[in-house]
Structure 1
Amino acid sequence: MKLRMKSMPLAIFQIVASGALSMAVAHPAFAQETQAAPQRVVITGSLISRADKEGTSPVQILTAEDLVRTGSTSIAEVLSNLSANGQGALGSGFSGAFANGGAGVSLRGLTVGLTLVLIDGKRMAPYPLSDDAQRQFVDVSNIPFDAVDHIEVLKDGASSIYGSDAIAGVVNIILKKSFKGTALRADAGSSQHGGGTMYKTAITHGFGDLEADGYNLFGSLELRHSEAIKVADRDNYLWAQGDWSARGGINLNRGVPNASNNYLVATSSPFFYTPKGADPVHNPANYQFLDTNCNYAKYMSGGCAIRDTVSFLQPETKNVNALVGFTKKLNEDWQLSVKGSVFQRESENNRGVPPVFSPTSFAGNTSLVPGQNPQIVNVYGPTTFKQGVAGNTLGDGARLYGYIPGVDPANTQKNKATSSRLVANLDGSWNDWELKAAAGFTRVKTDIDYSGYVDRVALYKAFNRATNPFNPLGGNSAADMAAIAPRFSNEATSTLTFADASASHELMQLPGGPMGLAVGVSYMKKKMESPSAALLANGIVGNGAAYVLGEEKNAAAFAQVLAPVLKNLELEASARFDHYDTYGRSFTPKAGFKWKPADIIGLRGTFSKGFRAPNAAENGTAGSFFTFHSVNDPILCADGNPKTKGNVPTACAMSPAFVQLTTKDLAPEKSKSYTFGAIIEPTRYFSSTVDYYRIEVKNQINTASGVPGFVPSYVRNAVFPVDIADGNGGVVQGLPSVGTIAYATSGYVNSGGTTTSGVEFNFKLTGKTADYGNFLADLNFNHMISYVLSSNGVDYELAGTHGPSVISGDTGNPKNRAQLKLGWEKGPLTATTTFNWVGSFSALDPSVEVTDCTKITSISSRTYFFGKDVPLNYCHIPSFMSTDLNLSYKYSKNLTFKASVQNLFDRQPPIDVATYGNANNLTSYNASLHQAGAVGRFFAVGASYQF
């Protein structure tokens, strides 16, 4: 197989290859060294313990020491850098996401909904705010760093063991099981370029020896605070600047008139405008500025611009995490363990969308209320002002532009997510059977406080009352502002209750060892109560937010057989039967083998089926808004020409809102997965694995609006005055023949699919010398061969492109990702350098018919080059690598110091004009792939003390 890695740093491969050869030659006796008998362990994806950690499926293990040596301070950051994490991942840099505040993992690029995240091998309640208001996932942003013992990443389908969602793989986060003594830890860090200052402290205390005392009790508390990084902290860089005029585009900074806003935009001074004459926007007589901060000449030259000082590149976060564990030996054969935790994360999210006066502000909102069809509510009336109202001297029909004084300068959501978990495990043996039982309750609750939103009904009434009308320059009463800009809140909860039991037994002795059998049953109930806030739901403040209400129950039985039929051949088979009360039954089998034709090489492979059950967002009571690609209103712009007499220009090339509704009779998504790989271990100091994977997902649940033949039925606003083309290049205000489009509805259907394939490499080299210390080189490299999306009856090859851009945060789909760790240890000093590399990719997305480099901003709906072709140099998003250096020094047996520099070389993120998954319209970088570049060089120091 020939792979193209033209932008991968060759030095990475040279280091590993030359090191492996030198170590194999210099230490020929390592393979003959006596090793202690390995302890049998149960690896993620299996129910049967084994001596060899390398099974039939590839599993990557990150120990607590590995986590510390990355220099990261959050589990979400560690997981985001996995080479197997790809398209559809969700990070904190996209503050405008449906699931704002949360972070999720997308193995093999198949979205967060097809990657199962477990805690201690058990399911966790999903985040109440679904990705794209559809895909449920476990939020990894509030997993405490110091409570994690290790992480196992299974890069294979595992529905035969775990059931739904485990199509692309499984991330199993294993928390500490016991602790004796006291451990203290403190860390602090800050970005070189401002913002993001972080403080973290943790304490763990435990007592009782399980063997000597028969019990262990421990508790852990972690506090973490990270300040926000604002766009204003980085707007000296091109990727964070809104002025594209020197790059062939237009100036998008706030308060600057340009072609994309028809030269009418809210600015530092409110102003009235009336459309009179042949070229009204360029006639000074049509403007009335309400204070001396701005005038027509200054306005048109961009002199009334407003610097964005509120938008976030990275939100402020606060974490308070508590974990308590108790383990008791009941007798020689039985053990009870109980673990409870409360993980709380607070974040403040905004996209810097300012509350402004606008002629389109009073058209009305769409109400999304659970249990009823969408309704257009609060159609307020004309969008113009009469002579004398609010100080208007231009005459009747004037329009007001400006920022609403006294209102928070951005739509802001303060999100507090609290994850609670209580799980009990009972393990023991009886009559040669190993028995395990567990039961647990998990809940995730989000409390969201909203500010910076405007009640347009109250604003409209305040402007038009006879006495003491609203003043657009400010100085309005507190009662007025409380009514016009109300602060309100909302609560959403997601709960998951489970119970399971399994038994394993050695059936017989085979030539390669004991044949193992495991059987088990499980029950799960999942409930989602995620309404939208009242003022959003009833349409008073903005358009209705997404909501989800519903529950599902699942009962399952499963079994696994592990048969070492020969000394060098191991066979494995497992199967699971699930019953859901929402749709019916699923049966998922899996088979695998591992064969060692020689001591230094092994071959392995698997075949499995998988499924994802439709969730409450898809078949419960739910609704959300999404926008479709631009269309022409079939009535108000039938010929697509905004200058045709009688057409409404804003109805041409518009992106109508769709209200996504649910469908009750959905079938589950189904998959087939194949893996085939090799394990090479010439010495105990060098090992490598190469694994090919192919995953075929069919019957995917998609919006009906994307299916061929779908004809939308538009719901229209009431008829109010709008601008209508006069046929001479100008507009006149009048009443259109019908109201403008408010929305259309679309349900979900099973249609299309995704097939992805690739190769993943791991090379690990260790060396021990008396004079120079110990060395480590560990490379994980993932190359995507193909990523085919089947949609609208057409297959689209999206590997190495920006597609599918409609999923999650439009993350991009690079073919290559790699992570290389180089470590050195001598005496008390340890140094680790981690290279996180993302390959280059194209800005095109064939799945939305964008195959022309000059049109790539249509993917993101950004107006950087409004009315012009995009320069070709923006069609290629270059590769990006951040380098993290971590140093630790063991001062004494109890005290250790550390220091780290993330993004050591201060690499800036490449410009990506095709993504919308970042802070706001002013920035042009990919937050999912290149967030380390936006943060910039980050310094941190820390110390830990244990006694």
Structure 2
Amino acid sequence: MKPHRIALAVTTALLSTPLLAAEDASGANEPERIEVTGTRIKRVDVEGVSPLTVITADEIANSGLSSISEVLATSIANNGASFDGDEASGYTTGASSVNLRGMGANRTLVLINGRRQAAFPTAAGGVDNFVDVSDIPSAAVDRIEILTGGASAIYGSDAIGGVVNIYLKKEYEGGDLSARYEAPEADGRDQFTLSYTQGFNTERSNTVLMLEYKNAEELLTSQRQDYFAEGLNRIYSATGDISVPPYLVNQETGEPWAWTENWGWGDALPSSWGANLYDYDEFYHDDKYNYSQESCEAILGDKAVWYDYSSSRKCRYDKYSDRGLESAYDRVNLVLNTEYELSDDWSLYAMVNASYKDSEKYKDEKGFDRTFYQDTATGRIDYSRSGMDDYAKFKVYRRMEEFPGPRIYESTNEKYSLAFGANGYVGDYELDVSWSSGFNKYSRDSQHMIDAAALLDVISFDPNESDPSRWYVLDVMTPEQAEAIMGVSSKRSESSIHQFTTTLTGDLVDLPYGPLAFASSIEWAREDYEDILDDTTQSGGYIGMGGTGGEGDRDRYAAALEFLVPLLSNVTGAQRLELSVAGRYDYYDDETDVGGAFSPQVGLMYNPVENVLVRGSWGQSFRAPDMHRIYAGETIGFGETEYDLPNGEVYEDSYTSYKSGNLALEEEKGDYASIGIVANLTDNLDLTLDWWTIELDGAVRTISSSYIYNGPNDYKPEMNYTGQYDNCDQLPDVGFILETDDNGFDNLMCIRSGPINVAYEKSEGVDGSLNYALEDTGAGDFKFEISASYLLSKEVKDFEFSEPEEYTETEYFPHWKGKASINWSLEDLSASLSYYYTGTAEGVDLFDYYNSAGDNIEEMQTDKLAAFGRLNLSMRYGLPWDGSVRVGVNNLTDELPPYYNVRNTEHDSFPFYREDRGYSMVGRSYYLSYSQKF
């Protein structure tokens, strides 16, 4: 590489432009490109104006972590609320996200080989679009680069929290067959991985073929029962102003209630959805409350709990045993990466990346509690008393344990991406032209749904029911009756992205201290998605199962320009001073008014001496609204509100609710800045220290119905469209319409909820790292690494007029996140010890407990979760026949997630710990892997 191209190569590496998709004409690989910077601290050049973390394939192997999603979850920059879809929760079974700087998974841009990927076709939580990182095969990864801070001036939308760029292997010598088996010390979550990598190299081409299969068992709550049972032990051992709740101990006798004797879930209560019937009018029964221990055990079997503390719902159900903590899955991957050198100046490249994943999410059996009305004249049963002159009222609490087989949500995720292009020189300028396409297909079938309409044709409240097609709710249901009301809720979703990119780079002119380097790019992209629910689910026809589908597309046009300007070089007090300037304009062509946005970025890199880099950057970022927040289909429902009238009466008001996407959404806009230093203190010791801040205005939030209207004395007047529209399906934005009833009351006729631009967010923190190497010690080579991030503040305002909320004090955002490792190698033997740390976390929750006097206390209080750390040990031995064996222990100290305070109502609510903070329920596990090269 010519000396005057060094600065340009460094800038390109820092910003991860699409140019990196191809090698340069000389065929130099990525490490050679980085090494030509001429510094002894390679990372000085890699870091650039913004903090950049590079995780190599060797580091991934030494970590002991079993997946790329785990690797990203342990990154110190991933200090927000991310999720792992292999945990059995959420809308997106089998998918995982990454959340840089706590700005949201939807505001973290994920690239593979520098290119955007199709978003997961179902929005997380029904609102946020994101890129799934769970299906990337570890064996195919060459390195991961994590650029923290805003990068919209380079990439456009989404790069607000930062960029995760995953590079897959581009060349490989020979072949490799590897297998790994991991098993926890406790039951569940065994994992097996088999991978094959083959390189095909000629004088002018490099091709890598990679195949991987991975199987993971489910992890059920019952397989970690010792952890959950601690709730009760902590109640008994708690000190201070607290007593054992009366539902655990009979306050008259002082003895535990009989139901607690064989109960394995601490003070978490069994579900009241067992087999209980309220006959309010005693129409068929002598008592209002109806149940029996005999029928309870006959219906629920070993999951029956006779809850003798209650007087109204004694037949309870153990809902925890069958619940999944992590989903089972099978996954197959194929990666084909190839490059062909046409001449000394030009090469062609292409990549195919495909994955197929089947997941199973285990659930407790379906249950329901519903109110029913029966017309006393005709016998008609309905959920509403409308049209009935005289009726009997019933309420049923029932678990459908008679449904055959376990209740499982089965999902399939298929992902395909294709990229191809050409890279070469036109005169003194390097040109890269590429096309990429990505497709993502997701399907989910949720078993054991209850068809609300079919249930009305079967249900009976008469214990003497003689019609064999009717089912008395306190009897065991027949297989035919179960079949009549059981359904499957289905979702079929697809998304795609197509992108054309051309990039031109080179040196424009020679300045006094070096060449003025530039990079320019032009992009066109089209994204679309389709998220379709079956008709019964969409219409709310399954009890307790809802959702909102949607579909839409958008085109994007963009032009970007970057300059690297040498200001000083080799003068007193300045070994190097360079100015980085970038700007990008994006235009969105869709049904919204987002239109275009310009994103600037300015950075300085200053080397006072050769081995020290002082850097700083500032820029503005933007993000177009999530596709699903724009195009989500309309969901119609019905609700009721209760509020006190001035005369002391309680007024019940029913209304129609509408929820859909919002075409009036605008782009989110933000600013970011960072200042830092990178220093090589000795040949073997280097450090980094960076301060950073990110602000975002106009962040999109989905507004709830209760926020819009919660009674005649608690509503938002600016959202009142009474007299302007006839119905809420006509409203241009979220709001409500009132109507006056015959008594002169202003009833809530209808309400429309959905997303709007209202929120403000700010994250601020400090990152640091220290690396030290000891080589040729006689006892082997040693490498010590430590990195940490301290979140100074995570401030959120849901609305312009609301007070800011500090999430590190209210939402369990930990201040500290860190990792450290010690690596040792001696000839064919090597070992690694890695530690991953999440600091203490504070939050505000409802505390509900009984004090020493037996009084029930309910109040909002601050809770503090203990720190969480995992220590992984890995050892590798190279064998004489080009094989290697690796053994390891993950989570050496068998750490499990920190507990909530026993007074906190979250402590006995499933899953009993904070799911979205990177904690793991697997516990200590052991693994063995073997790799054979040929």
For normalisation by structure 1, the TM-score amounts to 0.79
Q: Does 1:451 align with 2:447?
A: yes
Q: 2:768 aligns with which of 730, 736, 761?
A: 761
Alignment of 1:446-845 (within 5 A): 446-464=442-460, 466-470=467-471, 472=473, 478-510=479-511, 512-542=513-543, 543-567=545-569, 568-582=576-590, 583-623=594-634, 636-638=642-644, 660-705=659-704, 709=717, 744-792=751-799, 793-803=801-811, 812-844=812-844
Name 1:227's counterpart in structure 2. 217
Alpha-carbon shift at residue 284 of structure 1 (Å): 9.9
AA aligned to 1:602 is: L
Greater mean deviation of Cα atoms: 165-174 or 749-758: 749-758
1:664 aligned partner, one-letter code: L
What CA distance in whole angstroms lies between the structure 2 residues aligned with 1:801 and 1:888?
Answer: 43
Residues 451-503 of structure 1, C-alpha deviations (whole Å, 9 max, x = no match):
02111211220125944323557775655433311235331001001110011
Query: Following TM superposition, by how much is the alpha carbon of 1:54 offset from its aligned partner in structure 2, in angstroms?
Result: 2.8
| Alignment pair present for 1:293 and 2:297 | yes
User: What residue in structure 2 maps to residue 869 of structure 1?
Assistant: 858
1:152 counterpart letter in structure 2? E
Are 1:118 and 2:111 counterparts? yes
CA drift at 1:362 = 8.6
* 2:371 equivalent to 1:334: no
The answer to whether the Cα contact below 8 Å between 2:47 and 2:53 also exists between their aligned partners in 1 is: no
Equivalent residue in structure 2 for 1:356, among 355, 359, 367: 367
SS at match of 2:459: helix
Matched residue, 2:911: 923
Q: Deviations over 1:42-74 (max 9, x none)?
A: 325254887322311111000100111110111
How many angstroms does 1:404 deviate by?
Answer: 2.0
Listed one character per residue, the Cα deviations across residues 310-360 of structure 1 (whole Å, up to 9, x for unaligned) are: 1011111211111112221111111111111211222222453x3235334
Compared CA separation, residues 562 and 78, structure 1 to 2 (3 A): same
Provide the residue aligned with 2:713 in structure 1: none
Deviations for 1:653-707, whole angstroms, at most 9, x for unmatched residues? Answer: x9x9975422212210011110100111122311111111011111112234568
Which one is further off, 103-112 or 453-462?
453-462
In the other structure, the counterpart of 1:316 is: 328
What residue in structure 2 maps to residue 935 of structure 1?
922
Q: Is the 1:127–1:138 Cα contact (8 Å) retained in structure 2?
A: yes
Q: CA deviation at 1:920?
A: 9.5
- Alignment check: 8 A CA contact 1:512 1:569 kept: no
Amino acid at match of 1:928: D
Match of 2:124?
131
* Cα distance, 1:39–1:522 mapped onto 2, change above 3 Å: closer
1:884 to 872, 886, 893: 872
CA distance in 1, matches of 2:877, 2:181: 17
Q: Which runs of 5+ in 2 are unaligned?
A: 1-5, 20-32, 38-44, 239-243, 249-256, 375-380, 570-575, 709-715, 728-742
Whole-angstrom distance in 2 between the partners of 1:869 and 1:926: 21
Question: Structure 1 residues 381 and 752, CA, compared in 2 at 3 Å: closer, same or farther?
Answer: closer
Say if 1:44 and 1:152, in contact at 8 Å, map to a contact too. no
Please give the alpha-carbon distance, in whole angstroms, between the structure 1 residues aligned to 2:441 and 2:855: 42
Q: Distance in 1 between matches of 2:384 and 2:48?
A: 68
Residue 101 (structure 2) aligns with: 108
Q: What is the match of residue 58 of structure 1?
A: 51
Larger strand fraction of residues: 2
2:348, 2:498 → 1: CA distance? 19
Query: What is residue 10 of structure 1 aligned with on the other side?
Result: none
Query: Could you tell me how far apart the structure 2 residues matched to 1:63 and 1:713 are?
Result: 57
Give the AA of the match of 1:814: P
> Per-residue deviation at 1:774?
1.1
Q: What is the distance in 2 between the residues matched to 1:915 and 1:513?
A: 66
Report Cα offsets for 1:716-749 as digits up to 9, x if no partner: 9xxxxxxxxxxxxxxxxxxx99999998421322
Code of the residue aligned with 2:815 in structure 1: it is K
On the 8 A contact 2:539/2:635 being kept in 1, the answer is: no
Aligned to 1:151: 144
Tell whether 2:426 aligns with 1:430.
Answer: yes
**For residue 791 of structure 2, what is the amino acid of its counterpart?**
M
Question: Do the aligned partners of residues 772 and 513 (structure 1) sit closer, same or farther apart at CA in structure 2, a change above 3 Å counting?
Answer: farther
Letter in 1 for 2:584: R
TM superposition score normalised by structure 2: 0.80
**1:775 offset after TM fit, Å?**
1.1
Q: Distance between the aligned counterparts of 2:324 and 2:305, measured in 1?
A: 32
Q: 2:15: which partner in 1?
A: 45
* Residue 408 to residue 76, structure 1, CA distance change in 2 (3 Å): farther
Q: How does 1:149-298 map to 2 (within 5 A)?
A: 149-209=142-202, 212=203, 214-238=204-228, 246=236, 248=244, 265-267=272-274, 270-275=275-280, 286-288=290-292, 291=295, 293=297, 298=306
Do the aligned partners of 2:280 and 2:392 also contact (CA within 8 Å) in 1?
no
The CA distance in 2 between the partners of 1:855 and 1:472, in whole Å, is 33
Shift of 1:439: 0.3
SS at match of 1:794: coil
- Contact 1:616–1:622 (Cα < 8 Å) also in 2: no
- Contact kept? 1:405, 1:474, Cα under 8 Å: no
**Uncovered stretches (5+) of structure 1, i.e. residues with no partner:** 1-36, 364-377, 384-394, 717-735, 804-811, 845-849, 858-864
Q: What amino acid is aligned across from residue 695 of structure 2 in structure 1?
A: E
Letter of the aligned partner of 1:346 in structure 2?
D
1:76 partnered with 2:62: no
Q: 1:515 Cα deviation (Å)? A: 2.3
Structure 1: distance between partners of 2:700 and 2:350: 38
Counterpart-to-counterpart distance in 1, 2:472 and 2:352? 54
| C-alpha separation in 1, matches of 2:442 and 2:90 | 15
Q: Provide the C-alpha distance between the structure 1 equivalents of 2:372 and 2:335, rounded to a whole number of angstroms.
A: 48
- Structure-1 separation of matches of 2:674 and 2:368: 57
Aligned to 2:24: none
CA contact (8 A) 1:254 1:305 kept: no
Answer with 575-584 or 41-50: which moved more. 41-50
- Structure 1 residue 244: deviation in Å? 8.2
**Relative to 1, partners in 2 of residues 1:332 and 1:350: Cα closer, same or farther, differing over 3 Å?**
same
Checking the alignment, whether the CA contact within 8 Å between 1:351 and 1:920 is kept in structure 2 is no
Query: Would you say 1:347 and 2:359 are equivalent positions?
Result: yes
Shift of 1:243: 9.2
**Mapped partners of 1:351, 1:361: distance in 2:** 26
Instruction: State whether residues 533 and 545 of structure 1, in contact with CA within 8 Å, keep that contact through their aligned partners in structure 2.
Output: no
Q: Secondary structure at the match of 2:295?
A: coil
Query: 8 Å contact 1:515–1:562 — kept in the other structure?
Result: yes
**Percent identical:** 22
Per-residue CA distance 1:904-924 (angstroms, 9 max, x = gap): 001121113799999993331
User: Contact 1:272–1:289 (CA<8 Å) still a contact in 2?
Assistant: no
Residues 879 and 343 of structure 1: is their aligned pair in 2 closer, same or farther, counting only changes over 3 Å? same
Q: Secondary structure at the match of 2:629?
A: helix
CA shift at 1:283, angstroms? 8.0
Distance (Å, rounded) in 1 between the aligned partners of 2:455 and 2:359 = 29
The 8 Å contact of residues 405 and 472 in structure 1, kept in 2 or not, is answered as: no
What amino acid is the match of 1:487?
A: V
1:423 is displaced (CA, Å) by 0.6
Counterparts of 2:404 and 2:746, CA distance in 1: 32
Contact 1:239 1:923 in 2 (8 A): no
CA displacement 1:361-418 (0-9 Å, x = unmatched): 899xxxxxxxxxxxxxx964569xxxxxxxxxxx975544332243257763211111
- Residue type of the partner of 2:685? F
Distance 1:621 1:94, change over 3 A: same
